[in-house]
Structure 1
Amino acid sequence: MLRNRYIVLVEDDEIMGSSLLQRLELEGARVLWLKQMVRALGAIRTPTKPIDAVICDIGLPDGSGEELFSKLLGSGTPPPFLFITGKGGIGQAVRLIKSGAADYVTKPFEMSVFLERLSLLVGNHDKPLQDDDFPPLMGVSAAARRLETLIAKAARDSHHALIRGGPGTGKDLVARRIHDLSDRSAAPFVSVNLAGESDMEAALFGPGSGFDVVGEGTLFINTLGKMTEPAQRQLLDRLGQGFDGRLIAACGNDLEALIAQGSFNPEVFYRLARIEIPIPPLNTRPEDAVWLLQQLFHKLAVRHAPEVEGISALCEEAVRNHDWPGGGRELRSRLLRGLGLATGPLLQPSDMFPERLAGPDDMLSLAEAREAAERAQIIAALDRTNGQIGEAARLLRIARTTLWEKMQRLGLSGP
């Protein structure tokens, strides 16, 4: 993936820079190593050849990675940036991601994880943009970063896998990411969505479909919970006969209930759940909802509403507090509708949520507004502290027992 790629490395630390340079060149990349912001600014603005990616440390001797990126944004669209930051600079890195940077890694990092992120960034840069293209990453929150770790581990494994999550959480994107990062990436990725198939057995086992064409690649079965009993039996038979490829399936969060009802074979679940990847709903990741809004806005506004220049702070807050029952697909749909309704230079809450203007009876009471604000802040604090209630209580400046009581009242589960 990195062979013959032209990469600019902006890193002033001799040990870190030498290590990255050596490994990138071993991967076949051509690397320009720069140690100062001022030199990097000129080299990236007027490159001798197209730049595939920039690897940039947050801290530089004559400025910062953020300052470099901001200056480049002022004169055009910079190449994809992968920032390197210490734990204390995560907030700054997240801010840069929201401004259009591609990704970040925190020190210390495993070289394999770093190379996976960089390869994904470079590969995604090559793909033509489409209106329905979602970002390859899952977000900027701690929960999204944990999900990225699970994806990387699943890509290094060869066992079948099960992806779980509600509507619009990006289960298909996760499956594709696992395939693209795995050793099977050169083989086919075949997707079968059972929700749209009238004859599931033909779609999976018939000539020219599913198992017949996947070879040593990845077969992705979406909406696994809708699989009929005959198809389940045939799936187990097919896996028992030996399967050269890899099976990744996706389902909602109701599979155990289907098993308890007797409508789903537990053996299918056991064969797939050796690697299980749960995707947390978007309403528990408000920072990711805002990040996704900004990522999609950059792609969609230029095509559908070039006169809309940005997103208002009020609109971002509305997105942060929405429940998102339809996940990322709902967010994209609301954004497209909002771009069509917008009358000013900034996207407003009423553009994305016009139902809120239906009448005074639809207004939240002050008590309801306070509860919604409390819920959003608690979720954000828990996300930032990886679910540590004591640390979250410290951030919110309340007692641990008070936070626990509020979580119980608001229906937020503890760790």
Structure 2
Amino acid sequence: MLTGRYLVLIEDDAIMGHSLVQRLELEGAEVTWVKQAVRGIAAVRTPRRPVDAVICDIRLPDGSGEEIFATVSRRIAPPPFLFITGQGEIDQAVRLLRAGGADYMTKPFDMSAFLRRLVQILRPYPGAGLPPQTGISPLARQVDSLVADFARHDGPVLIRGARGLGKERLARRIHALSDRRSSAFVVANAFRDSVSADRLRAAIGTVRDGTLFVNGVGRLDGAAQHCLIDALGQASFRLIAACGTRIDEKVAAGGFRSDLLYALLAHEIVVPPLAQRGEDAAWLAGQMFEALNVRREAPLRGISELTLAAIHDHDWPGNGRELRSRLLRAMEVVTGDWIYPADVFPELNEHAREVRPLSEARDLAERHQIIRALEHTGGQVAEAARLLKVSRTTLWEKMHKLGL
């Protein structure tokens, strides 16, 4: 229900705060919990990532929810505020709604009703309305939204992420959506080749007023970095650079120019690994399968649901490259009309011959069924518990035990 959402909870009551945080996190949200008005203002006004909603108690030890909302609203367009109020504060809550607050709930309240009201006020997912390109998860939709936003201006862009996540594909999409799409897209790949200052100057001369994509910018030597920072100040091209996740360490060690990194960081896209985006892995497998299947003389019927569940649960250390490689192999060795888990993960055949402890086998089976139930109910824990015929508390405990 709340997967990928970032929420700020401003609540001084320890019991209520712990209860709300536990339930919100079980529903998939990331929660920052603060207990004071002054910290609440900072958490909303200068957040670590865009805030989807604020849950705010009206009465706090060092101020009020009304003061927080007014202070935040003077500086920024506030995210949706859901106020928590006592019976004696309803007039104040109504006044807050007239000022722009999203909703309020009176203590005590039912948790299911609270979640329904919270979902109703949430900001749309980043990239809502855009066709999915990177994936269908909130994290992937945020990447697609940033791609579309950055295509509308000419500033340098840094795409950061592990290998196998399609960083060059994202760069090409930024170029294709921009006003420079009729000009050249030139690639300087420091992962494949040694990109010297001379080669970089030649690429800059070729790109003219197009887009220069430097893949593996962190691998450039000092002379090439100097060439690039000089060119940024005077050339007419647009720079898109890509790097891994540890370029900050290179800056700290003196191996990469801090001024070049800062010039790139103003417009940064961080691509999360597939290990954090199981639903995207399954979605991408479907997209790849359709593209590959049309080339077969005898097309397959599809990827089985069991296989999609296994793809969802796999860690994907090689990200998209590993997914494509495994799917290509599966489509070469498959003997029937459907792709099954052992076609994509041949190592399962070895594991199948192992004798597992009953406790481990039971945990694996329970984990799989819980994941299926949560997917079926859109992440609603109470509904999943009903399908699994266990209490909500029992399901919470099992999810915690199994790392869900």
Task: Pick the TM interval, shorter chain.
Answer: 0.5 to 0.7
1:291 aligns with 2:283: yes
1:309 aligns with 2:305: no
Q: CA RMSD of the aligned region, Å? A: 3.8
Corresponding residue number in structure 1 for 2:232: 239
Residue pair 1:304, 1:339 contacting (<8 A) in 2 also: no
Residue in structure 1 matching 2:331, options 323, 333, 339: 339
Shift of 1:374: 8.9
1:165 aligns with 2:161: yes
Aligned residues: 274
TM-score (norm: length of structure 1)? 0.58
Corresponding residue number in structure 1 for 2:189: 193
Q: Are residues 259 and 315 of structure 1, via their aligned partners in 2, closer, same or farther at CA, if it must alter by over 3 Å?
A: same
Q: Are residues 233 and 377 of structure 1, via their aligned partners in 2, closer, same or farther at CA, if it must alter by over 3 Å?
A: farther
Residue pair 1:282, 1:327 contacting (<8 A) in 2 also: yes
Corresponding residue number in structure 2 for 1:213: 206
Corresponding residue number in structure 2 for 1:252: 244
Shift of 1:200: 2.7
Deviations 1:42-96 (A, max 9, x none): xxxxxxxxxxxxxxxxxxxxxxxxxxxxxxxxxxxxxxxxxxxxxx9xxxxxxxx
Structure 1: where are the runs of 5+ without partners? Answer: 1-87, 89-106, 122-135, 386-391
Measured in 1, the distance between the counterparts of 2:371 and 2:248 equals 29
Structure 2: where are the runs of 5+ without partners? Answer: 1-115, 117-122, 386-391
Aligned to 1:291, what secondary structure does the other structure show? helix
Q: Are residues 109 and 311 of structure 1, via their aligned partners in 2, closer, same or farther at CA, if it must alter by over 3 Å?
A: closer
Corresponding residue number in structure 2 for 1:153: 149
Q: Are residues 279 and 108 of structure 1, via their aligned partners in 2, closer, same or farther at CA, if it must alter by over 3 Å?
A: closer
Q: Are residues 109 and 336 of structure 1, via their aligned partners in 2, closer, same or farther at CA, if it must alter by over 3 Å?
A: closer
Measured in 2, the distance between the counterparts of 1:258 and 1:305 equals 50
Shift of 1:276: 0.5
Residue pair 1:305, 1:339 contacting (<8 A) in 2 also: no
Aligned letter for 2:191? Answer: A
Measured in 2, the distance between the counterparts of 1:253 and 1:343 equals 40
Measured in 1, the distance between the counterparts of 2:217 and 2:369 equals 36
Residue pair 1:197, 1:203 contacting (<8 A) in 2 also: no
> Within 5 A, what are the aligned runs for 1:38-53?
none
Aligned letter for 2:343? Answer: D
Aligned letter for 1:162? Answer: L
Shift of 1:394: 6.2
1:352 aligns with 2:344: yes
Measured in 1, the distance between the counterparts of 2:367 and 2:224 equals 44
Aligned letter for 1:349? Answer: P
Corresponding residue number in structure 2 for 1:323: 315
Deviations 1:176-234 (A, max 9, x none): 1111111111111111111111343233113xxx2011111110111112111221122
Measured in 1, the distance between the counterparts of 2:219 and 2:228 equals 13
Aligned letter for 2:364? Answer: A
Corresponding residue number in structure 2 for 1:230: 223
Shift of 1:302: 2.8
Q: Are residues 180 and 113 of structure 1, via their aligned partners in 2, closer, same or farther at CA, if it must alter by over 3 Å?
A: farther
Residue pair 1:166, 1:252 contacting (<8 A) in 2 also: yes
Corresponding residue number in structure 2 for 1:23: none
Q: Are residues 221 and 367 of structure 1, via their aligned partners in 2, closer, same or farther at CA, if it must alter by over 3 Å?
A: farther
> Within 5 A, what are the aligned runs for 1:6-405?
137-206=133-202, 210-240=203-233, 242-304=234-296, 306-359=298-351, 360-361=353-354, 365-366=360-361, 369=364, 373=368
Shift of 1:304: 4.1
Residue pair 1:286, 1:380 contacting (<8 A) in 2 also: no
Aligned letter for 1:227? Answer: L
Residue pair 2:125, 2:142 contacting (<8 A) in 1 also: no
TM-score (norm: length of structure 2)? 0.59
Aligned to 1:166, what secondary structure does the other structure show? coil
Residue pair 2:158, 2:242 contacting (<8 A) in 1 also: yes
Measured in 1, the distance between the counterparts of 2:324 and 2:257 equals 35
